[in-house]
Amino acid sequence: MTASSADFPLDPPIPFTVAAAGASVERGSAEVFELRWIAEAQNGCHEAFRMLVERHQESVYRFCHHWLRCPEDATEACQDTFLRAWQALPRYRPKARFSTWLFRIALNLCRDRARSRGARNRSLTDSFTFEGSVGRTQEEWPCPLPQPDEAATIEEDLEKLRMGLASLPQRYREVLILAVMEGFSHQECGDILGCSARAVESLLFRARRDLTAWWESRPI
């Protein structure tokens, strides 16, 4: 952990499982509630921060899992993200969405963790799941996926896709995870990655091109 759990207001820590974050809040009013929770949490309200964690923990964990491809590392990076967020919250200003700010923290932690575990030679082809694919159309994916009735080939295609994603440069994997799997706009991706929306568009184009080329050149 890069931050002390003693600084975190939730005891015991929230388990980072796939939960219906913010399920009791109507989608249309969620942003209004979130702004109120942020203001209250900045004034030291632990319960308000708990609501923010519950609202965002699923997507932050999913992002960390996609990036690190290891459930244990993803859980620690996710918890560290909220530890850092709590500590930095007094300095947060809503110029960007709260989720964008959180993901910027998560991205930096994932990068740090990947560098620190480099000596352990962990495989780049660990489990890669598609929790973020719900509700997206086939055309939004960067390579051809099978139709639902092609169940016999799904596992082979997913394994091939895991390998393809692992083969991409880090900057390409990051932009695909953020834009395609997490659904951030080009501007939001740029805010997280520290580049312009136009640069994001260019990265996405090259990432899709390279992944498609890899896919077509390596039949399973």
Same domain, 106 and 170: no
Three-state secondary structure string covering the chain? CCCCHHHCCCCCCCCCCCCCCCCCCCHHHHHHHHHHHHHHHHCCCHHHHHHHHHHHHHHHHHHHHHHHCCHHHHHHHHHHHHHHHHHHHHHCCCCCCHHHHHHHHHHHHHHHHHHHCHHHCCCCCCCCCCHHHCCCCHHHCCCCCCCCCCHHHHHHHHHHHHHHHHHCCHHHHHHHHHHHHCCCCHHHHHHHHCCCHHHHHHHHHHHHHHHHHHHHHCCC
Mark which of 98, 122, 146 sits at the end of a domain. Answer: 122
Query: 6 with 64, same domain?
Result: yes
Are 114 and 144 in the same domain?
A: no
Whether residue 118 is found in the same domain as residue 173: no
Do 141 and 72 share a domain, yes or no?
A: no
- 104 and 193 co-located in one domain: no
Asked whether residue 15 carries a pLDDT value surpassing 60, the answer given is no
CATH code at 1?
1.10.1740.10
Tell whether the model's pLDDT for residue 126 goes beyond 50: no
Residues 140 and 185 both lie in one domain: yes
107 and 3 inside one domain: yes
Q: What is the tens place of the pLDDT at every residue in 18-64?
A: 333 343 444 446 778 899 999 999 999 999 999 999 999 999 999 99
Residue range of the domain that includes 2: 1-122
From 100, 122, 144, give the residue that closes a domain. Answer: 122
Q: What is the CATH number of the domain that holds 152?
A: 1.10.10.10
The verdict on 172 and 92 lying in the same domain is no
Does one domain contain both 118 and 160? no
pLDDT 10s digits, 68-98: 888 999 999 999 999 999 999 999 987 778 9
Mean pLDDT of 161-179: 87
Q: Please identify, among 122, 146, 164, the residue that sits at the C-terminal boundary of a domain.
A: 122
Same domain, 9 and 106: yes
| Structural domain count of the chain | 2
pLDDT of 129 higher than 50: no
> Do 2 and 71 lie in a common domain?
yes
